[in-house]
Structure 1
Amino acid sequence: MTELINLSSIPIFLLVFVRVAAFFMTVPLFSYRTIPTPFKIGFTFFLSLIMYYTVDGSQITIDDMYLFLLIKEALVGLLIGLLAYIMLSAIQIAGGFIDFQMGFAIANVIDPQTGAQSPLTGQYFYIIALLFLLSVNGHHLLIDGIFFSYEFIPIDAFIPFQDGSLADFIITTFNKMFLIAFQMAIPIVGCLFLVDVALGIIARTVPQLNVFVVGLPLKIFVSFVAILFFLSLYVVLVENLFSVTFEAMRSLMQLFGGG
């Protein structure tokens, strides 16, 4: 306890606290607005207190560069958490594709994490994905990610940006995200496309039938049946998305560490 009260340990603890707090500001699940702020602050404080004893801060000195170290720690935590959030937003993108084809694009709900509007189907898929994340202890892996980040990005080192490496990483990561979103959406979107083709044929062969009245409830019914049928495939794709997310977080930490 005396070591913690020692004034020389406060700057090191502050660096650890800034990285962990910035990480929890953007990472999925922990950054929800529905989680009370005192809980977030207390959890961040005690987790930083545990991680403080595992970090080598012997090279940390209070000088002109200490402020830049604080900014670097905040950037590292924000970017690692933001990457995880961006990767999981593939679920929202897939839901947007499905809602546009279903006719639900006009009806959105409020996402409790961002406060912005999100697709109905995307929010439904996202809640299932978060429940799946909790059931496989994925939130432990997220905490492990910020804990082991000090192995890749030391607390007393700055980020060595290499020419073109960060841009290549961003392009590759976004390609993977959109590919998984397309894989999630294509079964339901493909079924609804076939329904549109069938309605077009019916409109030409039976002009007396109002396809605009029949088409919307029919597409909603077909989409619900398709979602129920492809739900097992969706869980497999979400599992793949989580593995890609954790791999991307590790690659980003290696990139920031100069590896």
Structure 2
Amino acid sequence: MSSLLQLTDTQISTWVATFMLPLFRVGALLMVMPVFGTTLLPRRIRLYLTVAITVAIVPALPPMPAVNPLDLSGLLLIAEQILVGAVLGFAMQLFFHAFVVAGQIVAVQMGMAFAAMVDPTNGVSVAVIGQFFTMLVTLMFLAMNGHLVVFEVLTESFTTLPVGSGLMVNHFWELAGKLGWVLAAALVLVLPAITALLVVNIAFGIMTRAAPQLNIFSIGFPLTLVLGLFIVWVGLADILNQYQPLASEALQFLRELAQAR
């Protein structure tokens, strides 16, 4: 009679760590990053994607340390993987929020700040122009395979940021310093529209001084709204040239965070 297969605790711990630790890093990224981390995608689908991506990349990953999931060291390693995945996902959120802020700025300038709707991706109320920019950048991000670049960087991060290294803490302040980049990028995106709307408002101001009896509010508000929509429509012709450098900079920053090539 053949003997039964006997497994040691070390073998079981190695097998568990091989799939469990990457699972938490991939899951944290999918829960935070744009497109996949929104409320539009059900949690069950995100869980299936997490398992599928983990199974696909595990054969290409370096060996994982043997760990007991119920031990304190195992819990610390799990927390580290969640932190790494969340930081990488939040870096991409900054890129998307640059377009959201740009839409908010234009909406305020053209008088459409009151026209708000609930953003289904984040569950907050945003201006319609900001929601339009969000959907536009999402489509361009997927069309240019930006999500595949993110998954590539995630896979490389297991080599450049190995489990248990704690190297991500050194780059935490770099992520905080990138918050100013969001506002700068948003201003670059909407600077032509802001300038054009400023000229329109100055023209209305001159009209008010020249003809005080003219009810400028009944004329200026709808005219500013129509001109603002026209300016946004004209600016969309150059949106791709504005998107590409910002996307390249955001993805390069993601690689720097993960210390990838």
- After superposition, the CA RMSD in angstroms is 2.2
Picking from 39, 62, 65, the partner of 1:56 is 62
AA aligned opposite 2:58:
Y
Alpha-carbon shift at residue 160 of structure 1 (Å): 6.2
Q: 1:246 to 1:67 in 2, by over 3 A?
A: same
Alpha-carbon shift at residue 82 of structure 1 (Å): 0.8
**Matched residue, 2:206:** 201
Q: Is the 8 A contact 2:64 2:163 kept in 1?
A: no
Deviations 1:51-97 (A, max 9, x none): 22222235333354221110000000011101110221000111111
Q: 5+ unaligned residues in a row in structure 1: which ranges?
A: none
The 5 A counterparts of 1:101-116 are 101-116=109-124
Alpha-carbon shift at residue 116 of structure 1 (Å): 0.7
Equivalents in 2 of 1:232, 1:148: separation in Å?
36
Picking from 13, 16, 29, the partner of 2:35 is 29
AA aligned opposite 1:207:
P
AA aligned opposite 2:192:
P
Deviations 1:85-132 (A, max 9, x none): 022100011111111111111221111121011121111111111111
AA aligned opposite 1:143:
F
The 5 A counterparts of 1:126-137 are 126-137=134-145
* 1:225 correspondence with 2:233: no
**Matched residue, 1:72:** 80
Percent identity over the alignment?
24
**Matched residue, 1:239:** 244
Instruction: For residue 155 of structure 1, give the secondary structure of its aligned residue in structure 2.
Output: coil
The 5 A counterparts of 1:3-42 are 7=12, 8-42=14-48
Q: 1:112 to 1:160 in 2, by over 3 A?
A: closer
Alpha-carbon shift at residue 174 of structure 1 (Å): 2.7
Equivalents in 2 of 1:175, 1:247: separation in Å?
17
Structure 1 stretch displaced more, 68-77 or 245-254? 245-254
Which structure has the greater CA radius of gyration?
2
Q: Is the 8 A contact 2:92 2:254 kept in 1?
A: yes
Q: 5+ unaligned residues in a row in structure 2: which ranges?
A: none
**Matched residue, 1:192:** 197
The 5 A counterparts of 1:244-259 are 244-254=249-259
Q: 1:123 to 1:16 in 2, by over 3 A?
A: same
**Matched residue, 1:179:** 184
Q: Is the 8 A contact 2:27 2:85 kept in 1?
A: yes
Equivalents in 2 of 1:160, 1:237: separation in Å?
30
Equivalents in 2 of 1:156, 1:177: separation in Å?
31
**Matched residue, 1:210:** 215
Equivalents in 1 of 2:107, 2:226: separation in Å?
13
TM-score (norm: length of structure 2) = 0.88
Q: Is the 8 A contact 1:88 1:245 kept in 2?
A: no
* 1:46 correspondence with 2:52: yes
AA aligned opposite 1:186:
L
The 5 A counterparts of 1:130-145 are 130-145=138-153
TM-score (norm: length of structure 1) = 0.89
